[in-house]
Structure 1
Amino acid sequence: MGMLVMGFGVSMCPHADFDRNVTFILTGSEVGLLYDLIGVEDPKSPLFGRFFYEIDVNRFTRDEAIDFLTRGFRETGIDVPRDVIEILVDMFNGIPGWLIYAANLYLRGIKDLTMVREAAVNEALNELNNFIRVKANYSTINARRTAIALKCIANGNDAWSKVAECVEDQEGASVSTASLGNIIASLEKLSIIKDYKYLDPVYNAFA
């Protein structure tokens, strides 16, 4: 990550310093990863001290999500029944990214909402599996324990002691506090979990 951050920052700096009409927009759901990429809190980063403006797009309320999809579908010229919109909203719990994903599938002709949910679940599982595969490039033990921790959390273990017990049961051996702590911290940094719960309910399918 260090070399990536350095290269990314060096390539941006000339434009950030001299091109007043150029604005960089970086988006993503993994807030901690974006902070690492930009390096705004790292004095060694080429982008350290540069001005940036952060916009948080939080989960919509049910009414906001219904209005969001209603307006979006209307702009495409397609009349979608209210009950379909409400099912999509309840299915994805107001998360903007999944609402857009589901709406795009619907507009592309996938009207079976069960298939829409299955597609979203498969996408989420692919994201988590890719995340674990990347970890395996550095440590197979850490990757395996991360996968176990994700499953434990998906199965309702919502406290440190519960997750630790579940991981150790699956491993058949004790796991150090530091090791599990690093795993939990990395999952929180990537905005996958918070307080031992998935921020994104679709990820619960990882169980």
Structure 2
Amino acid sequence: MGQKLIFDERPKDNRKDLFDREIEIEKIEKAVTSRKPLILILGVRRIGKTSVLQTALNELNENWILLDCRKLKENYSRRDIYTLIAQSLSRRIDKLKNVLEKINGISILGNQIEIKWKGRNYISLADLFDHLNEKRVIIAIDEAQKLRGPMSNEIKEAIAHAYDYDKNLTFILTGSEIGLLYDFLGVSNPKSPLYGRYYEEIVLERFDKEKSKEMLKRGFEELSFKVNDNVLEEIYEEFGGIPGWLVFAGLQYYSGKSLKELKEMAVQIALNEIENLLNRTPAKRRYKIVMKCIARGSDNWTKVKECLEKEEGSIISSSVLSNILNSLEKMSIIKDYTFLDPVYRDASMKLAVR
């Protein structure tokens, strides 16, 4: 596909390629032009946060850099985070060169930027933000919950410093694991450098049935591909109004996959994602059992506990189950014993418990 279409799986970066989301984009633009220091864009996986963020950034007449924290490994190092920042600055060097070339600790080599992360001329994150403050700059951090880890507190200290002193900077953070993003920021934790700071929150909700069908219909029309209403209905029922899944389903159906085949593909993708998410949990097997229990209809505390104990063949303490349920909610997998993504629900039925 030469031009971007609704059924392009890559994130969109302008409004003509993005279906709906006008209200959310306007909220972001209003918050930025009002110089709010901290903005959160929240929503489950595949809801379109990156597309909305990129579209808003490209519409604003402001300098910006975008850090994609999905590139960071779990126990990232100082070198890793500085490399990520250097890559982000390099992509915007034409806008920020006159500021960057004055900073000790930053070298400009053609279109590439290097940042000293240790030794002489090392520059701290707080100092870097102070220098960037010479211009109006938006610092956008995609999937910011990935910043939890060894440098978490230092990063929060730097953001808190910028919040207080760097009036030309606005931070926009996105997160698909919403509870973990809140944990990282710690705005309700007295021990966090960001405790008590106000943030503007913009939540992306899934589309309802009519809007989902409209999106699918328009996507198929762009491809000059006719489908009947029953297909649109079935795709909606299977994928629940989550734009990323609707794009995936529409594209696969257009390429000749049956509805059954594309659903099997989606479930396999979700299974792989669940495995990756649970790899960082200490009791992976129990998490899988709890997810299977909820997927099979255990919709309250008592039912989940009974199901888990039956599978384990032992009594499980309430605190253990509470920790598992809280973690699954923080990862935005479930809420109130319901899966937030119907594909994750169906994938959880197939989890191999070992």
Range class of TM-score, shorter chain: 0.7 to 0.9
Residue in 1 that maps onto 2:226: 81
1:104 deviates by 5.0
The CA distance in 1 between the partners of 2:175 and 2:218, in whole Å, is 22
* Larger strand fraction of residues: 2
The answer to whether the aligner puts 1:44 opposite 2:185 as a matched pair is: no
1:124 equivalent in alignment to 2:270: yes
Partner in structure 2 of residue 144 of structure 1: 285
SS of the equivalent of 2:237 reads helix
State the partner residue of 2:179. 32
CA distance in 1, matches of 2:182, 2:225: 38
Q: Is the alpha carbon distance of 1:69 and 1:44 closer, same or farther for their aligned partners in structure 2, counting shifts above 3 Å?
A: farther
Q: Do 2:294 and 2:338's aligned partners in 1 also have CA atoms closer than 8 Å?
A: yes
- The structure-2 alpha-carbon separation of the partners of 1:183 and 1:21, relative to structure 1 and needing over 3 Å to count, comes to closer
SS in 1 for 2:174: coil
SS in 2 for 1:24: strand
Contact residue 110 and residue 116 of structure 1 kept, 8 A:
no
- Distance in 2 (CA, whole Å) between partners of 1:192 and 1:143 is 14
Count of aligned pairs between the two proteins? 198
Structure showing greater radius of gyration is 2
Evaluate the alpha carbon distance shift between residue 167 and residue 100 of structure 1 in structure 2; reply closer, same or farther with a 3 A threshold: same
Q: Conserved in 2, the CA contact under 8 Å of 1:59 and 1:96?
A: yes
**Does 2:195 align with 1:54?**
no
Change in Cα spacing, 1:178 to 1:15, as seen in structure 2 (3 Å) is: same
Deviation at 1:2, TM superposition (A): 5.7
Q: Deviations over 1:55-78 (max 9, x none)?
A: 11222210011123334555xx32
Amino acid in the other structure paired with 1:197: T
Gaps of 5+ in 2: 1-147, 350-354
Q: Is the 8 A contact 2:238 2:342 kept in 1?
A: no
Q: Deviations over 1:152-190 (max 9, x none)?
A: 111222221211111111111111111111111221222
- C-alpha contact 2:235 2:246 (8 A) present in aligned 1: yes
Q: C-alpha distance in 2, partners of 1:153/1:41?
A: 29
Provide the TM-score with structure 2 as the length reference.
0.49
Decide whether aligned partners of structure 1 residues 10 and 92 sit closer, same or farther in structure 2, where only a CA change above 3 A counts. same
- Residue 100 (structure 1) shift: 3.4
Give 1:110 deviation, angstroms.
Answer: 5.5
Gap change, CA 1:177 and 1:25, over 3 Å in 2: closer
**Residue 238 of structure 2 is aligned with which of 58, 68, 91?**
91
Change in Cα spacing, 1:44 to 1:3, as seen in structure 2 (3 Å) is farther
Greater helix fraction, Structure 1 or Structure 2: 1
Amino acid at match of 2:264: E
SS at match of 1:44: coil
Residue type of the partner of 2:242?
I
2:247 corresponds to which residue?
A: 100
Which shifted more, 118-127 or 47-56? 47-56
Distance, in Å, in 2 between the alignment partners of 1:45 and 1:68 is 42
Query: Does the 8 Å CA contact 2:206/2:243 hold for their aligned counterparts?
Result: yes
Give the CA RMSD over aligned residues.
Answer: 2.7
Partner SS for 1:134? coil
In 1, Cα distance between equivalents of 2:235 and 2:316: 40
Determine the structure 1 residue equivalent to 2:315: 174
Secondary structure, counterpart of 1:151 in structure 2: helix
TM-score (norm: length of structure 1): 0.80
Contact (CA 8 Å) 1:153, 1:197: kept in 2 or not?
yes
Q: 2:259 aligns with which of 113, 127, 140?
A: 113
